[in-house]
Amino acid sequence: MSGFPLRVLVLEDHSFQRLLAVSMLRQLGCSEVFEAADGAQALALLQEVGPVDIALCDLRMEGMDGLEFLQRVGDTRQVGSVILCSSLSADVRRSVRQIISLLGLEFLGDVGKPLCMEALQALLKKRLHAPATRCSPPPVPEVVQENEIRRALQAGQLQPYYQPKFDLGTGQVRGVEVLARWEHPSKGVLSPAAFMPLLERCGLLNELLFEQMEQALNLQRQVQSQGHALNMAFNLQAAQLANDELAPRIKALLTRHAAFGAGLTFELTESGLLQAPQTSIKNLVRLRMMGCCLAIDDFGAGFSSLQRLCVLPFTEIKLDAEFVRALRHEPRCQAAIASTLALGRALDMSVVIEGIETEEQRQQLLRLGCITGQGYLCARPMSGGQLLHWLGQQRICA
């Protein structure tokens, strides 16, 4: 059996289980295998032998438990990747996986108990062929100055990009979400993370929104001339919604373009609506009176979803992409998606599932009764010209 040039630490308090894990790793040809009976021993061992590539980690044990150990190594960067090996219930292990991710550690997999050599070997191969990148800190967006972002707005460098929403059964495009991208003259295309926080701090969100809407409504008219009816969805922040001038400006824009409100959707994250002031609610009602659709975005990622759905006049639920990512191996996520679809039907609201990237996910969602989705399986965000060409080619993702 070919070996793995990997240093592995086994953290397991049960002596037989620890012996079994060490034996399997050595049989699989790991270059160095270390063992510890609790977290404190493991930390002391790492001080002696240095960092390891993988920690094969139990969770519940006497002394320092596996969770505390992971917290410590998340700070010291002495472990590259983590494999969970625990008999705790699936829901507890799922929560620990979230913690591992938040700690900046790479999660390789969950082998459960009893330990299986084939499963362990597959994860070692995964680590070997896709080395962890977590040891390098994530890139920090470059600091952008206010005068630079203002010049970019004036020069038209902040451009709308369009990501389709599609019918999961037929592949037909049902609409697009309008996203901001900075076409920087020297740095290339920058994502919103590089500039949106500054735009919000400088009070420039509305300037960006209305510039996007001008271009998107012109594009919508071009798309209509090609025989496509395309709803345009724009993201709104809570601060914008609290502005008395928002709805009147949108109404004036629609009038100037001879466009209908029914062709627009405004997406709002539920986290921004925890305490919607009176002005915000009035703006939502006025947008609905104009015929616009309202979507609650990243549904399931906040804390007041059901209350917001009952109080505010939403017409669409956008389910957070995290549910789709866990769809294959998390029965609870399947149940959450099915329940959201049922809730949408009961409230007469459409449901859009975000983050669909594979054909397997599409098929699973169809079986659950989902109709509309969004994600890289259909298309990535694209410029207006690219969208026109894409639609002209009648590109179908089903």
Q: Is 354 a catalytic residue?
A: yes
Catalytic residue among 62, 354, 359, 360: 354
Q: Which fold has domain 4-129?
A: Rossmann fold (3.40.50)
Residue 63: band (very low, low, confident or very high) from pLDDT cuts 50, 70, 90: confident
**CA dihedral in degrees (301, 308, 318, 273; nearest 10)?**
-70
- Residue-averaged pLDDT of the chain: 87
The reply to whether domains 4-129 and 146-392 share a CATH topology is no
Q: Which fold has domain 146-392?
A: TIM Barrel (3.20.20)
Residue type, 371: I
Give the model confidence (pLDDT) of 185-244 as tens digits.
888 888 888 899 889 889 999 999 999 999 999 999 999 988 888 999 999 988 898 888
**Concatenated DSSP letters for 353-370?**
E----SHHHHHHHHHHT-
Residue 22 pLDDT > 80: yes
Give the model confidence (pLDDT) of 154-175 as tens digits.
999 999 999 999 999 998 999 9
Domain ranges of the chain: 4-129, 146-392
Predicted local distance difference test score (pLDDT) of residue 97: 84
Predicted local distance difference test score (pLDDT) of residue 130: 56
Q: Which two tokens stand for residue 146?
A: 């206010």
Closest listed residue to residue 273, CA positions, set 247, 322, 306, 320: 306
What integer is the mean pLDDT of 291-316?
80
Q: How many helices (H) and strands (E) does the chain have?
A: 16, 14
- Give the whole-number percent of the chain exceeding pLDDT 90: 57
> What is the separation of C-alpha 136 from the centre of its chain, rounded to a whole number of angstroms?
21
Predicted local distance difference test score (pLDDT) of residue 23: 94
Q: Please indicate, yes or no, whether the overall pTM of this predicted structure exceeds 0.85.
A: no
Predicted local distance difference test score (pLDDT) of residue 301: 65
